[in-house]
């Protein structure tokens, strides 16, 4: 019952018998990371680099426990990239 979503994002049925198709994620999808999870972000950067993504999948990190906005340094292959850290969504 309800929506059956496959890993590719195609919806098999909308519950009322209608067929709906769509894509949830593409190779350009970006993520907002909640909290200061530097190890997880670096793992995502490494995976993206090995998969030859054009840009990292991490857009920014949000951690409201720290006052003010900042930038965190991560490695993208052999290059260093700065990922913005924000205190909130506003």
Would you say residue 56 has pLDDT above 80?
yes
Per-residue model confidence as pLDDT tens digits over 28-46:
999 999 998 999 999 999 9
Three-class SS of 57-68: CEEEEECCCCCC
- Nearest-angstrom CA–CA distance, 41 and 48: 10
Would you say residue 50 has pLDDT above 90?
yes
Per-residue model confidence as pLDDT tens digits over 17-30:
666 678 888 889 99
N-terminal to C-terminal alpha carbon distance within the chain: 37
Q: Would you tell me which CATH number, out of the four given (1.10.10.60, 3.10.20.30, 2.30.30.90, 3.40.50.720), belongs to the domain 31-86?
A: 3.40.50.720
Choice between 7 and 72, residue whose per-residue pLDDT is larger: 72
Alpha-carbon radius of gyration of the chain: 17
Predicted TM-score (pTM) of the model is: 0.70
């Amino acid at each position: 019952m309800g929506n059956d979503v496959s890993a590719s994002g195609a919806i098999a049925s909308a519950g009322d018998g209608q067929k709906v198709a769509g894509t949830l994620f593409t190779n350009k999808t970006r993520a907002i990371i909640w909290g200061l999870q530097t190890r997880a972000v670096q793992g995502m950067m490494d995976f993206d680099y090995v998969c030859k993504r054009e840009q990292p999948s991490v857009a920014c990190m949000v951690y409201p426990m720290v006052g003010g906005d900042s930038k965190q340094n991560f490695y993208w292959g052999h290059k260093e990239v700065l990922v913005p850290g924000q205190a909130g969504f506003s």
